[in-house]
Amino acid sequence: MEERIEVTTPDQRTVSSSPEFNLSATRVADIMTTNLITLSPHHTFGEAVQLMANSPFRHFLVVHADRTLAGVFSDRDVLRALGRTPNWQAKAVSGVMTRYVVTVNPKTPLSLAATEMLKRRINCLPVIGDDQKVCGIITSTDLLKIYQKMQASLEFTQPGTAI
Amino acid sequence: MKEDTRETAPTWSMENQRDSTGKTHCVADVMTREVVSLSPQHNFADAVNLIANRHFRHFVVVDNGRIVGIVSDRDVLRGLARTDNWQKKEVGEFMTVDPITVKPNMSLATAIAKMLAKRINCLPVIADDGTVCGILTSTDLLKSYQQVLESVDLQPR
Protein backbone atom coordinates (compact mmCIF):
# COMPACT_ATOMS: atom_id res chain seq x y z
CA MET A 1 0.00 0.00 0.00
CA GLU A 2 1.74 3.18 -1.14
CA GLU A 3 -0.48 5.58 0.75
CA ARG A 4 0.87 5.90 4.20
CA ILE A 5 -0.99 6.61 7.39
CA GLU A 6 -0.40 10.19 8.43
CA VAL A 7 0.37 10.28 12.10
CA THR A 8 0.70 13.26 14.37
CA THR A 9 1.79 12.81 17.95
CA PRO A 10 -0.80 13.30 20.69
CA ASP A 11 0.77 16.48 22.04
CA GLN A 12 0.57 18.09 18.62
CA ARG A 13 -3.12 17.43 18.58
CA THR A 14 -4.09 20.24 20.86
CA VAL A 15 -7.00 22.58 20.78
CA SER A 16 -6.11 25.13 18.15
CA SER A 17 -6.78 28.26 20.17
CA SER A 18 -5.04 27.28 23.41
CA PRO A 19 -3.50 28.55 25.64
CA GLU A 20 -5.52 31.74 25.25
CA PHE A 21 -8.62 29.60 25.53
CA ASN A 22 -11.65 31.76 24.94
CA LEU A 23 -14.34 30.93 27.49
CA SER A 24 -16.97 32.49 25.33
CA ALA A 25 -15.96 30.43 22.29
CA THR A 26 -19.12 30.04 20.30
CA ARG A 27 -18.14 28.55 16.97
CA VAL A 28 -16.55 25.32 15.83
CA ALA A 29 -13.47 27.14 14.47
CA ASP A 30 -12.69 28.43 17.99
CA ILE A 31 -11.97 24.98 19.41
CA MET A 32 -11.64 22.47 16.56
CA THR A 33 -8.56 20.28 16.20
CA THR A 34 -6.68 20.89 12.98
CA ASN A 35 -3.82 18.37 13.26
CA LEU A 36 -5.43 15.16 12.09
CA ILE A 37 -4.65 11.50 11.77
CA THR A 38 -6.30 10.43 8.56
CA LEU A 39 -6.78 7.12 6.78
CA SER A 40 -7.28 6.43 3.12
CA PRO A 41 -10.24 4.28 2.00
CA HIS A 42 -7.74 1.62 0.88
CA HIS A 43 -6.11 0.93 4.22
CA THR A 44 -7.07 -2.45 5.59
CA PHE A 45 -9.30 -2.89 8.59
CA GLY A 46 -6.42 -4.62 10.37
CA GLU A 47 -4.13 -1.60 9.85
CA ALA A 48 -6.82 0.76 11.10
CA VAL A 49 -7.47 -1.32 14.24
CA GLN A 50 -3.75 -1.40 15.03
CA LEU A 51 -3.51 2.37 14.57
CA MET A 52 -6.49 2.88 16.86
CA ALA A 53 -5.25 0.48 19.54
CA ASN A 54 -1.92 2.33 19.65
CA SER A 55 -3.29 5.86 19.67
CA PRO A 56 -5.39 7.79 22.16
CA PHE A 57 -7.96 8.71 19.53
CA ARG A 58 -11.20 6.96 18.75
CA HIS A 59 -12.04 8.65 15.46
CA PHE A 60 -10.16 8.81 12.22
CA LEU A 61 -11.29 10.70 9.18
CA VAL A 62 -11.08 8.73 5.96
CA VAL A 63 -9.96 11.16 3.31
CA HIS A 64 -9.60 10.91 -0.46
CA ALA A 65 -6.37 12.03 -2.16
CA ASP A 66 -7.91 15.46 -2.90
CA ARG A 67 -8.68 15.95 0.84
CA THR A 68 -12.42 15.56 0.44
CA LEU A 69 -14.11 13.39 3.05
CA ALA A 70 -14.81 9.73 2.32
CA GLY A 71 -16.08 8.77 5.77
CA VAL A 72 -15.29 8.36 9.43
CA PHE A 73 -13.75 5.28 11.01
CA SER A 74 -14.52 5.01 14.71
CA ASP A 75 -14.06 2.48 17.46
CA ARG A 76 -17.81 1.79 17.27
CA ASP A 77 -17.45 0.79 13.63
CA VAL A 78 -14.76 -1.66 14.69
CA LEU A 79 -16.92 -3.25 17.35
CA ARG A 80 -19.90 -3.54 15.06
CA ALA A 81 -17.82 -5.10 12.28
CA LEU A 82 -16.11 -7.56 14.60
CA GLY A 83 -19.46 -8.80 15.80
CA ARG A 84 -20.53 -9.80 12.32
CA THR A 85 -17.53 -10.11 9.98
CA PRO A 86 -15.44 -13.22 9.59
CA ASN A 87 -11.94 -12.58 8.20
CA TRP A 88 -12.17 -8.93 9.26
CA GLN A 89 -8.46 -8.13 9.12
CA ALA A 90 -8.43 -8.21 5.31
CA LYS A 91 -11.39 -5.89 4.76
CA ALA A 92 -10.75 -2.37 3.47
CA VAL A 93 -11.50 0.63 5.65
CA SER A 94 -14.02 1.79 3.04
CA GLY A 95 -16.13 -1.31 3.69
CA VAL A 96 -16.40 -0.69 7.42
CA MET A 97 -16.36 3.08 7.88
CA THR A 98 -19.41 5.27 8.37
CA ARG A 99 -20.11 6.82 4.97
CA TYR A 100 -22.98 9.17 5.62
CA VAL A 101 -21.35 11.51 8.04
CA VAL A 102 -22.84 14.59 9.63
CA THR A 103 -20.36 17.42 9.13
CA VAL A 104 -20.10 20.96 10.34
CA ASN A 105 -18.59 24.17 9.02
CA PRO A 106 -15.98 26.22 10.92
CA LYS A 107 -18.68 28.87 11.44
CA THR A 108 -21.23 26.46 12.96
CA PRO A 109 -22.24 27.53 16.51
CA LEU A 110 -20.95 25.21 19.25
CA SER A 111 -24.47 24.75 20.58
CA LEU A 112 -25.52 23.20 17.27
CA ALA A 113 -22.42 21.00 17.15
CA ALA A 114 -23.15 19.71 20.68
CA THR A 115 -26.80 19.16 19.82
CA GLU A 116 -25.91 17.13 16.72
CA MET A 117 -23.47 14.96 18.71
CA LEU A 118 -26.02 14.20 21.39
CA LYS A 119 -28.92 13.67 19.01
CA ARG A 120 -26.98 11.26 16.82
CA ARG A 121 -25.02 9.69 19.66
CA ILE A 122 -21.68 10.45 18.08
CA ASN A 123 -18.54 11.98 19.51
CA CYS A 124 -16.96 13.52 16.49
CA LEU A 125 -17.92 15.86 13.67
CA PRO A 126 -15.60 16.42 10.71
CA VAL A 127 -15.23 20.11 9.89
CA ILE A 128 -15.52 20.83 6.20
CA GLY A 129 -14.53 24.20 4.74
CA ASP A 130 -16.33 26.13 2.04
CA ASP A 131 -14.02 24.47 -0.53
CA GLN A 132 -15.49 21.05 0.52
CA LYS A 133 -12.10 19.93 1.87
CA VAL A 134 -11.49 18.59 5.35
CA CYS A 135 -10.13 21.32 7.59
CA GLY A 136 -10.49 19.85 11.07
CA ILE A 137 -12.40 17.73 13.50
CA ILE A 138 -14.40 18.62 16.60
CA THR A 139 -14.88 15.96 19.24
CA SER A 140 -16.76 15.69 22.50
CA THR A 141 -13.37 15.96 24.23
CA ASP A 142 -12.79 19.40 22.67
CA LEU A 143 -16.16 20.47 24.06
CA LEU A 144 -15.44 19.02 27.51
CA LYS A 145 -12.17 20.93 27.68
CA ILE A 146 -13.85 24.26 27.26
CA TYR A 147 -16.71 23.30 29.57
CA GLN A 148 -14.19 22.37 32.27
CA LYS A 149 -12.54 25.78 31.99
CA MET A 150 -15.90 27.46 32.23
CA GLN A 151 -16.91 25.48 35.33
CA ALA A 152 -13.52 26.10 36.95
CA SER A 153 -13.81 29.85 36.42
CA LEU A 154 -17.34 29.75 37.84
CA GLU A 155 -15.98 28.32 41.07
CA PHE A 156 -13.62 31.24 41.43
CA THR A 157 -16.01 34.04 40.67
CA GLN A 158 -18.88 35.57 42.58
CA PRO A 159 -22.50 34.84 41.68
CA GLY A 160 -23.95 37.48 39.41
CA THR A 161 -20.85 38.33 37.37
CA ALA A 162 -20.29 37.52 33.73
CA ILE A 163 -17.15 35.73 32.58
CA MET B 1 -27.11 23.25 9.44
CA LYS B 2 -28.53 26.66 10.31
CA GLU B 3 -26.24 29.61 9.81
CA ASP B 4 -25.50 31.73 12.84
CA THR B 5 -25.22 35.39 11.99
CA ARG B 6 -24.39 36.69 15.44
CA GLU B 7 -21.59 39.25 15.32
CA THR B 8 -20.79 39.96 18.96
CA ALA B 9 -19.51 37.32 21.36
CA PRO B 10 -22.09 36.58 24.06
CA THR B 11 -21.27 36.52 27.76
CA TRP B 12 -22.15 33.45 29.77
CA SER B 13 -24.98 33.82 32.19
CA MET B 14 -23.73 32.82 35.62
CA GLU B 15 -27.13 32.73 37.24
CA ASN B 16 -28.44 29.52 35.69
CA GLN B 17 -25.14 27.77 36.44
CA ARG B 18 -25.76 27.93 40.17
CA ASP B 19 -28.41 26.59 42.50
CA SER B 20 -30.49 28.80 44.79
CA THR B 21 -27.67 28.98 47.32
CA GLY B 22 -25.17 30.21 44.71
CA LYS B 23 -23.29 26.90 44.48
CA THR B 24 -22.04 25.58 41.15
CA HIS B 25 -23.15 22.19 39.86
CA CYS B 26 -21.69 19.00 41.27
CA VAL B 27 -21.38 15.43 39.97
CA ALA B 28 -24.75 14.32 41.42
CA ASP B 29 -26.53 17.04 39.39
CA VAL B 30 -25.56 15.57 36.02
CA MET B 31 -24.61 11.91 36.59
CA THR B 32 -26.52 8.91 35.20
CA ARG B 33 -28.24 7.12 38.05
CA GLU B 34 -29.11 3.97 36.13
CA VAL B 35 -25.97 1.83 36.03
CA VAL B 36 -25.53 -1.43 34.12
CA SER B 37 -23.24 -3.84 35.90
CA LEU B 38 -21.60 -7.15 35.08
CA SER B 39 -19.93 -9.64 37.37
CA PRO B 40 -16.24 -10.56 36.93
CA GLN B 41 -17.37 -14.02 35.75
CA HIS B 42 -19.27 -12.80 32.70
CA ASN B 43 -17.36 -13.53 29.52
CA PHE B 44 -15.92 -11.30 26.84
CA ALA B 45 -18.72 -12.07 24.40
CA ASP B 46 -21.32 -10.88 26.96
CA ALA B 47 -19.48 -7.57 27.17
CA VAL B 48 -19.15 -7.22 23.38
CA ASN B 49 -22.84 -7.94 22.92
CA LEU B 50 -23.90 -5.45 25.57
CA ILE B 51 -21.78 -2.66 24.10
CA ALA B 52 -22.73 -3.42 20.50
CA ASN B 53 -26.47 -3.60 21.24
CA ARG B 54 -26.97 -0.93 23.88
CA HIS B 55 -26.50 2.80 23.78
CA PHE B 56 -23.67 3.07 26.23
CA ARG B 57 -20.00 2.27 26.32
CA HIS B 58 -19.22 1.57 29.97
CA PHE B 59 -20.16 -1.04 32.52
CA VAL B 60 -19.20 -1.26 36.11
CA VAL B 61 -18.06 -4.64 37.36
CA VAL B 62 -19.54 -5.37 40.75
CA ASP B 63 -18.72 -8.17 43.14
CA ASN B 64 -20.61 -8.53 46.43
CA GLY B 65 -22.06 -5.04 46.11
CA ARG B 66 -18.67 -3.37 45.71
CA ILE B 67 -17.14 -2.00 42.53
CA VAL B 68 -14.10 -4.04 41.46
CA GLY B 69 -13.59 -2.70 37.95
CA ILE B 70 -14.95 -1.03 34.90
CA VAL B 71 -15.22 -2.21 31.31
CA SER B 72 -15.19 0.31 28.53
CA ASP B 73 -15.44 -0.11 24.82
CA ARG B 74 -11.70 0.66 24.73
CA ASP B 75 -10.95 -2.33 26.97
CA VAL B 76 -12.96 -4.51 24.61
CA LEU B 77 -11.18 -3.09 21.58
CA ARG B 78 -7.75 -3.59 23.09
CA GLY B 79 -8.69 -7.14 24.04
CA LEU B 80 -9.74 -7.87 20.48
CA ALA B 81 -6.54 -6.45 19.02
CA ARG B 82 -4.31 -8.54 21.27
CA THR B 83 -6.10 -11.77 22.08
CA ASP B 84 -6.71 -14.78 19.89
CA ASN B 85 -9.34 -16.77 21.76
CA TRP B 86 -11.05 -13.66 23.09
CA GLN B 87 -14.52 -15.15 23.30
CA LYS B 88 -13.51 -17.31 26.26
CA LYS B 89 -11.94 -14.59 28.39
CA GLU B 90 -13.76 -13.48 31.53
CA VAL B 91 -14.65 -9.87 32.29
CA GLY B 92 -12.35 -10.01 35.32
CA GLU B 93 -9.37 -10.64 33.02
CA PHE B 94 -9.69 -7.55 30.84
CA MET B 95 -11.55 -5.02 32.99
CA THR B 96 -9.78 -1.97 34.34
CA VAL B 97 -9.25 -2.76 38.02
CA ASP B 98 -9.48 -0.11 40.73
CA PRO B 99 -11.05 2.49 38.45
CA ILE B 100 -10.84 6.17 39.28
CA THR B 101 -14.04 7.09 41.09
CA VAL B 102 -15.63 10.30 42.27
CA LYS B 103 -17.99 11.34 45.08
CA PRO B 104 -21.46 12.70 44.32
CA ASN B 105 -20.62 16.11 45.81
CA MET B 106 -17.43 16.69 43.77
CA SER B 107 -17.48 19.85 41.64
CA LEU B 108 -17.99 19.45 37.92
CA ALA B 109 -14.76 21.30 37.15
CA THR B 110 -12.74 18.81 39.20
CA ALA B 111 -14.53 15.79 37.76
CA ILE B 112 -14.08 16.94 34.15
CA ALA B 113 -10.42 17.74 34.80
CA LYS B 114 -9.94 14.18 36.11
CA MET B 115 -11.62 12.73 33.08
CA LEU B 116 -9.54 14.76 30.64
CA ALA B 117 -6.25 14.16 32.46
CA LYS B 118 -6.77 10.40 32.50
CA ARG B 119 -8.25 10.29 28.98
CA ILE B 120 -11.30 8.40 30.20
CA ASN B 121 -14.96 8.94 29.48
CA CYS B 122 -16.57 7.51 32.55
CA LEU B 123 -16.21 7.93 36.30
CA PRO B 124 -18.19 5.65 38.63
CA VAL B 125 -19.79 7.67 41.41
CA ILE B 126 -19.39 6.07 44.81
CA ALA B 127 -21.56 7.07 47.78
CA ASP B 128 -20.19 7.37 51.31
CA ASP B 129 -21.41 3.83 52.11
CA GLY B 130 -19.19 2.45 49.30
CA THR B 131 -21.97 1.53 46.89
CA VAL B 132 -22.15 2.67 43.27
CA CYS B 133 -24.79 5.40 43.11
CA GLY B 134 -24.25 6.43 39.49
CA ILE B 135 -21.78 6.97 36.71
CA LEU B 136 -20.64 10.24 35.26
CA THR B 137 -19.89 9.95 31.56
CA SER B 138 -18.62 12.41 28.99
CA THR B 139 -22.10 12.27 27.43
CA ASP B 140 -23.71 13.43 30.68
CA LEU B 141 -21.29 16.35 30.69
CA LEU B 142 -21.86 17.14 27.03
CA LYS B 143 -25.60 17.31 27.72
CA SER B 144 -24.99 19.68 30.57
CA TYR B 145 -22.72 21.87 28.41
CA GLN B 146 -25.22 21.87 25.61
CA GLN B 147 -27.89 23.19 27.98
CA VAL B 148 -25.53 25.96 29.01
CA LEU B 149 -24.82 26.85 25.39
CA GLU B 150 -28.50 26.89 24.56
CA SER B 151 -29.25 29.16 27.50
CA VAL B 152 -26.62 31.52 26.11
CA ASP B 153 -28.14 31.35 22.63
CA LEU B 154 -31.53 32.26 24.06
CA GLN B 155 -30.34 35.22 26.05
CA PRO B 156 -31.59 38.58 24.81
CA ARG B 157 -28.89 40.91 23.58
ω before A19 within 30° of 0 (cis)? yes
Q: Give residues with Cβ within 8 angstroms of A87, minimum separation 6.
A: none
B45 contacts chain A (CB < 8 A): no
B15 to chain A, minimum CA–CA distance in Å?
Answer: 6
| Banded pLDDT at A15 (limits 50, 70, 90) | very low
Give the CATH number, domain containing residue A92.
3.10.580.10
Q: How far is CA B45 from the centre of its chain?
A: 22
Pairing of strands A69-74, A124-128: unpaired
| Banded pLDDT at B62 (limits 50, 70, 90) | very high
| Banded pLDDT at B154 (limits 50, 70, 90) | low
**DSSP-based three-state secondary structure for B116:** helix
- In a domain, residue A160? The reply is no
Contact in structure between B113 and A148 (CB atoms under 8 Å)? yes
pLDDT of A77 reads 80
Count up the domains in chain B and report the number: 1
- In a domain, residue B11? The reply is no
A9 contacts chain B (CB < 8 A): no
Q: Indicate the average pLDDT of chain A.
A: 79
pLDDT of A13 reads 39
Range of the domain at A60: 10-155
A128 to chain B, minimum CA–CA distance in Å?
Answer: 12
Give the CATH number, domain containing residue B94.
3.10.580.10
Between residues A102 and B16, which one has the greater pLDDT? A102
Cα A20 to Cα A16, A24, A45, B110: the distances in Å are 10, 11, 39, 20
- In a domain, residue A5? The reply is no
- In a domain, residue B103? The reply is yes
- In a domain, residue B6? The reply is no
Question: Do B1 and A53 lie within an 8 Å CB cutoff?
Answer: no
- In a domain, residue A162? The reply is no
Count up the domains in chain A and report the number: 1
Q: What pLDDT, in 10s, does the model give residues B74-124?
A: 787 777 766 677 777 888 888 889 899 999 999 999 999 999 998 888 999
A83 contacts chain B (CB < 8 A): yes
Burial class (CB in 10 A: 0-12, 13-18, 19+), B128: exposed
Average pLDDT on B49-56 reads: 77
B18 contacts chain A (CB < 8 A): yes
Percent of chain B with pLDDT over 90: 34
Contacts 24+ apart (CB under 8 A), A157-160: A157/B14, A159/B14, A159/B15, A159/B18, A159/B22, A160/B14, A160/B15
Residue A65 scores a pLDDT above 80: yes
B141 contacts chain A (CB < 8 A): yes
- In a domain, residue A1? The reply is no
Between residues A8 and A162, which one has the greater pLDDT? A162
Q: What pLDDT, in 10s, does the model give residues A119-156?
A: 988 889 999 999 999 999 999 999 999 999 888 888 77
- In a domain, residue B45? The reply is yes
**Model pTM above 0.95:** no
pLDDT of B140 reads 93
- In a domain, residue B4? The reply is no
Cα A32 to Cα A14, A28, A104, B106: the distances in Å are 9, 6, 11, 28
Tell me the chain A residues in contact with residue B17 when contact means C-beta distances shorter than 8 Å.
151, 154
Residue A19 scores a pLDDT above 60: no
Please give the helix or strand (H or E) that residue A41 lies within, else none. none
Range of the domain at B137: 20-154
A76 contacts chain B (CB < 8 A): yes
d(CA A35, CA A41): 19
pLDDT of A115 reads 93
pLDDT of B24 reads 76
Question: Do B142 and A79 lie within an 8 Å CB cutoff?
Answer: no
* Residue type at position B107: S
Tell me the chain B residues in contact with residue A150 when contact means C-beta distances shorter than 8 Å.
12, 148
Nearest-10 crossing angle of helices B138-154, B108-118: 130
